[in-house]
Amino acid sequence: MTTKHSGMYAALMTGLTDEGTYDPQRQKSLTEYVLKQGLAGLYVGGSSGEQGLLDTSELLEQQRDVATLASGSSAHLIAHVGMPNLRDSLKLATQAKELGYHGLSALPPHSYPFSDEEIFQYYEELAAATDLPLLVYEVPIRTGRPIGLDTLVRILALPNVAGIKFTSNDLFKFSMLKRRCPDSAFFFGFDEIYLSAAALGADGGIGTTYNILGKLYVALHKAVSDRDLATAQELQNTSQIFVEALLETGVLPGMKAAFRAIGIDCGPTRAPMQMRVKNGDDIMAKVMQNPEIKKWVA
């Protein structure tokens, strides 16, 4: 896992109809665009795909569709399977294994204020359900609380647990965890400050904005590998121009507006998620015309 699953992965978005139901055709258009950007792979069914607003049946269908679309490509597929209950997580994990996915990842249980021990037991059972390598997911902005450092160390020591997707700005915790678990794979989830984690030894990134600017993030990862700090800083600054616009519109509504601006209709976000401003499409159309952004569009 630490070798195979490194590099930059798009946290794949979801195509919806105008009415907000899952749309295989819009998923196809979106996925085909992402696949041609030279990324290491796709992270399917996570927060960027509106997982928290989709039914398990829709996530299962999306898993199948993406597996078909990616067949024959070099993309590695990681299925996010973290649901509010373990039963649905196991359904998603089992199908991902059957479809030939290369790895799993999962949010910790987050519907209630679960203890660290309950979180540990959740990952223990999920990791044992298949032989696929599993990425733990540390994302306090989604779950409402960080997982304790000692608990993360215990989880990373479980069989089949191969690493972590770390989406937190607590980079000291990231470093401490990396020192304690040197054989684990470390992926960083905040696109706009990826360089900070890369400097601390991240093996790669998994991000939302990689969907549309994947080529930029591949170049950023290469610049870090080449120890070309000036280029890495320049690329990170460019990504931040894009992310600043998303903060005004709302990240996923803004991303879908950015795709519309380049001729790919992913549909709306699912209610109650909506654009934060009335002129969101105009904001994203303008940023997509910025020469520093436009040159990275696939």
Active site (catalytic) residues: 137, 165
List, in sequence order, every residue forming a beta bridge with 135; answer none if it has no partner. 105, 163
Distance CA(46)–CA(26), nearest Å, equals: 17
Q: 187, 245, 175: which is closest to 217 by C-alpha? A: 187
The values of phi and psi at residue 215, to 5°, are: -60, -35
Question: Residues 178, 150: contact at Cβ < 8 Å?
Answer: no
Question: Residues 72, 80: contact at Cβ < 8 Å?
Answer: no
Question: Residues 1, 198: contact at Cβ < 8 Å?
Answer: no
Q: Which residue has the tokens 């649905």?
A: 88
